[in-house]
Chains A and B, each alone.
Chain A
Amino acid sequence: MNSTDTAQAEGKSTSAERPGRSTAAPLEFRHVNKVYPGATEPAIEDLSLEVGAGEICVLVGPSGCGKTTAMRLVNRMIDLTSGDILLDGESIMTGDPVRLRREIGYVIQQIGLFPHRTIAQNVATVPKLLGWNRDRIRARTTELLELVGLAEMADRYPGQLSGGQRQRIGVARGLAADPPLMLMDEPFGAIDPITRERLQNQFLRLQADLRKTIVFVTHDIDEAIKMGDRIAVLRKGGRLAQYATPAELLMNPADDFVEDFVGADRALKRLALLRVRDFDLWSTPTVRPGDPTAAAREQAERSDLHHALLLDDHGRPQGWLSERDLRADAVPEIPDTVAVVIDRDSTLRDALAQLLEDGAQYGPVVDSEGRVLGALSVELISRFLASGDTTAEAPTDRAEAAAP
């Protein structure tokens, strides 16, 4: 009778309700081999890697590299030929595969919702299989639907939802029984790029709260870099080419194959890993209309930019004033050039794109209240890229910063 309270209060960690498994469990592949009968080449060859509890491990590689196969080995949808897979230290081969699957969240690309059941019933599938009582199921379903922002769809049918909505329900369904491990096979693959980005960001925010162990399969290296805590690059024949953090992968690809796969623009890809706020910005003098220009002129001269930033009455950046504009006694109202305003939470990549699009060399950086923090310039960015500096990377909370 306390189950509903517990579920609502904690929502995620329900270790009390599921004896024997922690909320997030570590996963280990140990010399896993998979050879299909009659095949000359193995589909997976000697795969060994460890996924820490609460981490997202992305399996990525060209088609035919066995990434989906590897994922499906974990919940025994495919049987392995040799080696072992350990979930929370326990081999998956012990016990009934059906019971194992009920403990693992399973989200596939085509989602596979049951068209003849309502959304709420779909989400409630595994809890029902596990024998939860009705109240608990209802509470959990409501909670999850709110989590993915589709609470009002509870009584609709899958046929009435859009592709993006169905994908979100697929994720909710996977989370329903609060499993210690989630398997996701291209879960955002079948939708348009705009919706996909939104869903990715939303999912990362979710993961920041839930901290589940996740095995995530994708063919898209950009998605892998964005989503993964660690990335396993597989080559054809299911052999592990490299298993590393995104930064490490971009900076030091293990061999030519990985380097090719990551792409020639890996330097630029690094920009996606960084937020503007993690960066050292140029200082920029700010002035308002009517201010005396003498001090401004002096500051502009000393700054990196040789320009002053004109603010409006509310403190919002309007544009840049050159030293010539500052020759008058008072600061004019109209700036010389309009400023390209950059959000501190943007990725460096988005910020660079913004600057380049307007042909600007630099732009003011503001925080969420609109306060000016400094200026970001293209020069700064290219200096960073050239330096190979890793210390500036601080993507600890990609999720926290994920733009809505």
Chain B
Amino acid sequence: MTPALGVLPAVLAQVEIRKRTGQGCVQENGFCPDWIANNLDKYVSPLLEHIYLTFVSVAIGFVIAFALAILAHRHRWTTGPIIAITAAAFTIPSIAAFLLLLPITGFGSTTAIIALVVYTLLILFRNLITGLRNVPAETVDAARGMGLTDRQILWQVELPLAVPEILAGIRIAVTTTVGLATLAFFAGAGGLGEQIYSENAGTGGIEFKSNVVVAGGLAVLLAAVSDLIFLSLQRLLTGWQRASAP
């Protein structure tokens, strides 16, 4: 037994070395730094598509959610139905959503964006409305008593105080959408998901470790970086929150 065990490391080492270099590596579907270095450019376009999908969807979703939140803020009773609808939509698995839109809007980024926008609505709306509702009642009372109009109260008092909650919502929406957009290629919208999964994308598909590491890694990186950006934005805009009583 022992001699065999002694030989094992040497054998494994051979296998490893072979795996990491050149053609042998690629054929073994291994993790090949060389290949990665040579083929990074193939990921640029999907990455950009992915970024585009994510940020356009969140932007549109925010505009819609903002309008809905203002509505629900004025007319409380609409909150329930809005949340119910957006939550139901959120429950539908993204692939199903992408596919179900195909007959209506065909292949392409439009379909994907529509679905992604709907997914962001629940998160953004809920955070917007919570942020607005969490403004202390006496602050609003003081503002109204001093003679601010309803619109002034909304823009000068309620929204600024809701910024932390709203930014948190945007953060979550962005990272969630990055994740959902990986499946956008089912709707014909490209994105990093295509690189991960499809053999047609020219990068080896889901079984090729190098491909998965790069494509998946880029997706994770995108989510993480976006998260950090909005976190920093949040800290920047809420300096007043960190000041506390002596």
Q: A–B direct touch, CB within 8 Å, in complex?
A: yes
- Judging by beta carbons under 8 Å apart, are B147 and A159 in contact? no
- Quick one: CB contact mask for B208-246 with A, threshold 8 Å, 1 for yes? 000000000000000000000000000000101101111
The listed residue (B139, B147, B243, B246) touching A129 by CB distance below 8 A is B147
- Bin the interface of chain B by size: 20 to 34
Residue B142 lies at the interface, judged by CB distance under 8 Å to chain A: yes
Interface core residue of B144, B146, B161 (most chain A CB under 10 Å): B146
Residue of B139, B140, B141, B145 ringed by the most chain A CB atoms within 10 A? B145
Q: Which residue of chain A lies nearest to B152 when distances are taken between CB atoms in the complex?
A: A129
Interface string of B109-136 (1 = CB under 8 A from A): 0000000000000000000000000001
Residues of B within 8 A of A183 (CB): 145
Does chain B have a CB within 8 A of A1? no
B89 in the interface, Cβ–Cβ < 8 Å? no
Contact B149 A98, beta carbon cutoff 8 Å: yes
Q: Which of A109, A113, A114, A160 contacts B243 (CB 8 A)?
A: A160
Contact B143 A112, beta carbon cutoff 8 Å: yes
Q: Is A274 an interface residue (CB 8 A)?
A: no
Residues in B neighbouring A116, C-beta threshold 8 A:
160-161, 238, 240
Listed stretches A36-44, A100-108, A254-262, A307-315; interface member: A100-108
Q: Contacts A159-B241, A159-B243, A162-B246: A114 and B146 contacting too (C-beta < 8 A)?
A: no
Distance of A192 from chain B, by nearest CB (Å): 15
A112 touches B246 (CB 8 A): no
Say yes or no for B41: interface residue by CB 8 A criterion: no
| Contacting residues, chain B, for A77 (C-beta < 8 A) | 141, 144-145
A101/B147 in contact, CB under 8 A: yes
B245 near A114: Cβ-Cβ < 8 Å: no
Determine how close the nearest CB of chain A comes to the CB of B163; give it in whole angstroms: 8
Q: Enumerate chain B residues within 8 angstroms of A117, measured Cβ to Cβ.
A: 240
Asked whether, in the complex, the Cβ of A114 is within 8 Å of the Cβ of B139, the reply is yes
Is the CB–CB distance between B246 and A160 below 8 Å? yes
> In whole angstroms, how far apart are the Cα atoms of A127 and B146 in the complex?
10
The verdict on A159 contacting B240 (CB below 8 Å), with A108-B138, A113-B139 known, is: yes
Residues of A within 8 A of B149 (CB): 98
Q: Least Cβ distance of A275 to chain B in Å?
A: 36
Q: Which of A101, A109, A157, A159 interacts with B146 by CB under 8 Å?
A: A101
Determine the interface band of chain A, counting residues with CB < 8 A from chain B: 20 to 34
Residues of the B chain whose Cβ atoms lie less than 8 Å from the Cβ of A113: 139, 142
Task: Report how far A112 CA is from B141 CA in the complex, Å.
Answer: 7
User: How near does chain B come to A237, taking the closest CB pair, in angstroms?
Assistant: 24
Q: Does A126 contact B (CB under 8 A)?
A: yes
Contact A157 B147 (CB under 8 A): no
**Contact residue among B138, B238, B245 (Cβ-Cβ distance under 8 Å from A112):** B138
Tell me which residues from 117 to 144 in chain A have a Cβ below 8 Å from any Cβ of chain B: 117, 125-126, 129
Task: Tell whether A27 is near chain B: CB-to-CB under 8 Å.
Answer: no
A110 at the interface (CB under 8 A from B): yes
A302 within 8 A of B: no
A99 at the interface (CB under 8 A from B): yes
Q: Closest chain B residue to A156 by CB distance? A: B243
CB pair A111 B145 closer than 8 Å: no
Given contacts A77-B144, A159-B245, contact A111 B240 (CB under 8 A): no
> Cβ of A112 and Cβ of B142 under 8 Å apart?
yes
Min CB distance B139 to A, Å, is 5
Q: Does A33 contact B (CB under 8 A)?
A: no
- Min distance, Cβ A156 to any Cβ of chain B, angstroms: 7
Asked if B148 is at the interface of the complex by the 8 Å CB criterion, the answer is yes
Question: Whole-angstrom distance from the CB of A144 to the nearest CB of chain B?
Answer: 14
In the assembled complex, A267 has its CB within 8 A of some CB on chain B: no
Residues on A with beta carbons closer than 8 Å to the beta carbon of B64: none
Is the Cβ of B145 less than 8 Å from the Cβ of A110? no
A161 within 8 A of B: yes
Q: How far is it, in angstroms, between the C-alpha of A162 and the C-alpha of B245 when the chains are bound? A: 6
Contacts of B157 in A (CB 8 A): 114
Cβ of B143: which chain A residues have Cβ within 8 Å of it?
112, 114, 125
**Cβ–Cβ contact A125 & B245, under 8 A:** no
Interface residues of B in 140-185 (CB under 8 A from A): 140-149, 152, 157, 160-161
Q: How far is the CA of A77 from the CA of B157 in the complex (A)?
A: 18
Q: B147's contact among A110, A115, A126, A160, by CB below 8 Å, is which?
A: A126
Name, among B136, B149, B243, the residue most crowded by chain A CB atoms within 10 Å (CB to CB).
B243
Complex: how many Å from CA A157 to CA B242? Answer: 10
Could you tell me if B138 and A159 are in contact, using CB atoms closer than 8 angstroms?
no
Is the C-beta of A202 less than 8 angstroms from some C-beta in chain B?
A: no
B243 with A106: CB separation less than 8 A:
no
A315 → chain B, closest Cβ, in Å? Answer: 43
Does A75 lie at the interface of the complex (its beta carbon under 8 Å from any beta carbon of B)? Answer: yes
Q: Which residues of A contact B240 (CB under 8 A)?
A: 115-117, 157, 159
Output the nearest chain A residue to B156 by Cβ-Cβ distance: A114
**Chain A: minimal CB distance from B147 (Å):** 3
User: A residues within 8 Å of B by Cβ?
Assistant: 75, 77, 98-103, 106, 108-117, 125-126, 129, 156-157, 159-162, 173, 183
Ranked nearest first, the 7 interchain pairs of A and B with the lowest CB-CB distance are A112-B142, A102-B147, A101-B147, A106-B145, A110-B138, A112-B138, A157-B243
10 contacts between A and B (CB under 8 A): A101-B147, A102-B146, A106-B142, A109-B138, A112-B139, A115-B240, A115-B241, A125-B143, A159-B245, A162-B245
Residues of B at the A interface (CB closer than 8 Å) are 136, 138-149, 152, 157, 160-161, 238, 240-241, 243-246
